[in-house]
Amino acid sequence: MEAISVETNEGGEKIENSKQVENIPLRPGLEGVPVTQSSICDIDGNKGILQYRGYPISELSANSSFLETTYLLIWGELPNSQQLHDFQEEVQMHRRLSFRIIDMLKCFPESGHPMDALQSSAASLGLFYSKRVIDNPQYIYDSVIRLIAKIPTMVAAFELIRKGHDPIRPRDDLEYASNFLYMLTEKEPDPLAARVFDKCLILHAEHSLNASTFSARVTASTLTDPYAVIASAVGTLGGPLHGGANEDVIAMLEEIGTPENAGNYLDNAIKRKSKIMGFGHREYRVKDPRACVLQKFAEELFAKFGKDEMYEIAKRLEEEAINRLGPKGIYPNVDFYSGLVYRKLGISRDLFTPIFAISRVAGWLAHWREQLSANRIFRPTQIYTGKKIREWEPLEGR
C-alpha cells in the first residue's frame, strides 16, 4: 500500500492522508484517466482524426445533415430513409415552445448571457415534462425529440425577446438549420449560409468525454431527468476554457487589430504566460480536424459574401504560432474559426456558445442513453488536505 503524501496544507500543517489511495496518483483534471467505456466517438489526437460511431468527421461533414448525424450519434446507426423522414418530422412537430416558457424567457434580464438563459430554460423543461421514467424507451425517445427540437427555438426566442421583439414561430417548411436562422432574423436564409450552418452543427455535435459531456454523464448517473442532464452540460460548456472560447477568439482578433501585429501579440502573450484563445486542446497534438473543415466552409462563405477582415488576422496568427506553439503540440482548435463563420452569418457574438450547445445536445443525449445502459453513479475520491480533527472553540474565545 502506497500512501499519497501531500506535504502541508494551507496553514502549513503537515498532512497525513485521511484515506490511503492504493497506487493511484492524483490526476488533476482527470487527465488520461478512463472513467467509462463508450462507443459513440473516438479521437486520434496525434493523427487529427475524429469519428462518430466509426464515420470520420470529414465524411459526415461532406455527406450528412445535422439531424441525420444526430440520429447516428443517439441511436448508433445511420437511419434508413423512412427512419430519417420520421425523425425529421417528429423534431419538426415539437419545435414550438409552450407560451409559459416564452413568458418565462420574457422575465429574464435582457442583459443576461444567452447561455444562462439557455441553461435555465433547458432545466425548466423538467417542470413541463416531469415524468421521470428513464427505463421507458418511449420516454427516452420523446425526451430526445423534445430537446433536439426545442433548444434552438429557446435560443432564438431569447435573442428576439432581449431585443424587444416577439419570438418568431418555427416554420414547418424549413429544415433544421434554415429554420433556426429564420427564427433569429425572420428572413429565410441564403441556401449556402444554411448549408454551412448545418455543417457547423455536425462538426460540434460530439467530442467524447470533454468537460460538458462528463458533466452530463455525472448528472445522468444519478438517474435524474434528461432536462437536468442537458442543463448541467450547458452550464459547463459556457466556460472560457471550453465552449466559451469562440467568443474570446473574436475579442482577441479585435485586440490584435492587424495581421502585422499578430507576431508581437503572440510574443507578448507567451511572455505573460497567457493562453491564446482558440488554440490548444487536451486531446489534439495537431490542428483540430474540425478547425480544418470549418476553415474551408469559412472560405466558401467569404467567397460568396465577402471576406471578413478578421480572417486575415486569424490566418497570420496561425502561421506565426506554428514556430512558437507548434513544438508543444498547440494548434488551432474548433473554436478558432467557428466565431468567424458565425460572424459572417450575422450572428451576435454571445450566441456563439449557445449555438455550440444546440449542436452538442446530440452528443450529450447519446451519452445520456449510453450512461443509462450501464449505469454506476459517479463518486470519485479525493485527497484531503484540510485540518485534522480539532476541538470546538466557543464563539467568545475566538
Catalytic residues: 281, 335
CB of 123 to ligand ACO, least distance (A): 22
280 binds ligand ACO (CB under 6 A): yes
CB atoms within 10 A of CB 175: 16
Which range, of 183-191, 195-203, 228-236, 322-330, touches ligand ACO by CB under 6 A?
Answer: 322-330
SS3 content of the chain, % helix, strand, coil (to 5): 60, 5, 40
CB of 313 to ligand ACO, least distance (A): 16
- Tell me the residue nearest to ligand ACO as measured from the CB: 280
Which of 30, 33, 35, 241 touches ligand ACO (CB under 6 A)? 241
Which cell numbers hold the place of 336?
Answer: 478558432
Which range, of 96-104, 154-162, 278-286, 298-306, touches ligand ACO by CB under 6 A?
Answer: 278-286
CA distances in angstroms from 257 to 237, 260, 299, listed in the order given:
28, 9, 20
Binding mask 330-349 for ligand ACO (x = CB under 6 A): x--xxx--------------
Which cell numbers hold the place of 292?
Answer: 480544418
CB of 336 to ligand ACO, least distance (A): 7
The secondary structure of 139-198, three-state, reads HHHHHHHHHHHHHHHHHHHHHHHHCCCCCCCCCCCCCHHHHHHHHHHCCCCCHHHHHHHH
CB of 207 to ligand ACO, least distance (A): 7
Which range, of 122-130, 131-139, 161-169, 241-249, touches ligand ACO by CB under 6 A?
Answer: 241-249
Binding footprint of ligand ACO, residue count (CB under 6 A) = 18
CA distances in angstroms from 188 to 178, 182, 191, 256, listed in the order given:
7, 5, 9, 34
CB of 127 to ligand ACO, least distance (A): 30
181 binds ligand ACO (CB under 6 A): no
Helices 245-256 and 262-271: crossing angle in degrees, nearest 10, is: 120
Residues 332, 340 contacting (CB under 8 angstroms): no
- What does the binding site for ligand ACO look like in residue numbers (CB under 6 A)? 241-243, 245, 275-282, 325, 328, 330, 333-335
